[in-house]
Amino acid sequence: MKSMTLAFTALAILAAPAAAAPVVGQPAPNFKLADTNGKPVTLSDFRGKTVVLEWNNPECPFVKKHYGSGNMQKAQAAAARDGVVWLTINSSAPGKQGHMSGGQAKSFVAQAGARPAAYLLDPRGVVGKVYDAKTTPHMYIVNKAGTLVYAGGIDNKPTPNPADVNGARNHVLAALSELKAGKPVSVTTSRTYGCSVKYSDS
């Protein structure tokens, strides 16, 4: 009975997002997911803080571009210094490219020197589909009031080439800088690029 209760609790954690699709300028859909230790993390817990959502698949060449070059880690560290909560989400289904257990995800974070506030597991793709996350990486920013203020690519260089990080406009860092200065986000949407999110076929 205890094991069944634990299983139900885990299922509830992974099936709790709101039904609304994300719209920039509107409240970001709330969700609850388990982190790499099985601890539930809820978006609404961070109301009053800016939150970045990053969809991740460590095996994707476009993700490797940003982690191999250190670009994603630098962005995460810069965000953390300003009190921004960075949540990395993996929606790869079991048996699909990029799917990881909690232990594997912890190893990835450690080996990559990543700096998210939490790495969240979404193996059923519930939250990914609610947010209409299409690629890895796919980036979103939620402001302190809980409003979605950015959705799109991390930058304006849609290639897997690490050399293209230099000279690119990092849309996420630019938006965070504008929010910190009390300014409206100038680029609220952009072309997202990368590998398709590896959702379950069912």
Q: Is the pLDDT of residue 168 over 60?
A: yes
| Residue-level pLDDT at 13 | 36
Q: Is the pLDDT of residue 114 over 90?
A: yes
| Residue-level pLDDT at 201 | 83
Residues of the chain above pLDDT 90, percent: 88
DSSP state of 184: P
What is the C-alpha separation between 73 and 102, in angstroms, rounded?
Answer: 20
Question: Three-state SS string across 82-96, please?
Answer: CCCEEEEEECCCCCC
Q: Which of 6-20, 57-71, 107-121 has the weakest average pLDDT?
A: 6-20
| Residue-level pLDDT at 19 | 46
pLDDT tens string 40-49: 999 999 999 9
Q: Is the peptide bond before 137 cis (omega within 30 degrees of 0)?
A: yes
Which residues, listed in sequence order, are joined to residue 83 by a DSSP beta bridge? none
Outline where 56-161 has alpha helix (H).
61-68, 71-81, 102-112, 126-130
Q: Is the pLDDT of residue 151 over 60?
A: yes
Tell me whether residue 90 is exposed, middle or buried, using C-beta atoms within 10 angstroms of its C-beta: 0 to 12, 13 to 18, 19 or more. buried
Tell me the pLDDT band of 133, cut-offs 50, 70 and 90: very high
What the chain holds in terms of domains, given with CATH numbers, is 2-16+26-196 (3.40.30.10)
* Model confidence, pTM: 0.89
Residue with tokens 């885990």: 10
Burial string for 107-145 (b: 16+ CB within 10 Å, else e) reads: ebbeebebbbbbbbbbbbbbbbbbbebebbbbbbbbbee
| Residue-level pLDDT at 202 | 56
DSSP string, 1-39: -HHHHHHHHHHHHHT---SSPP-TTSBPPP-EEEETTS-
| Residue-level pLDDT at 9 | 30
| Residue-level pLDDT at 1 | 39
Residue with tokens 């080996």: 111
| Residue-level pLDDT at 22 | 87
CA nearest neighbour of 118 among 178, 181, 33: 33
Tell me the pLDDT band of 16, cut-offs 50, 70 and 90: very low
Q: Is the pLDDT of residue 179 over 80?
A: yes
Tell me the pLDDT band of 146, cut-offs 50, 70 and 90: very high
Mean pLDDT over 99-126 rounds to 97
Mean pLDDT over 139-161 rounds to 97
| Residue-level pLDDT at 21 | 63
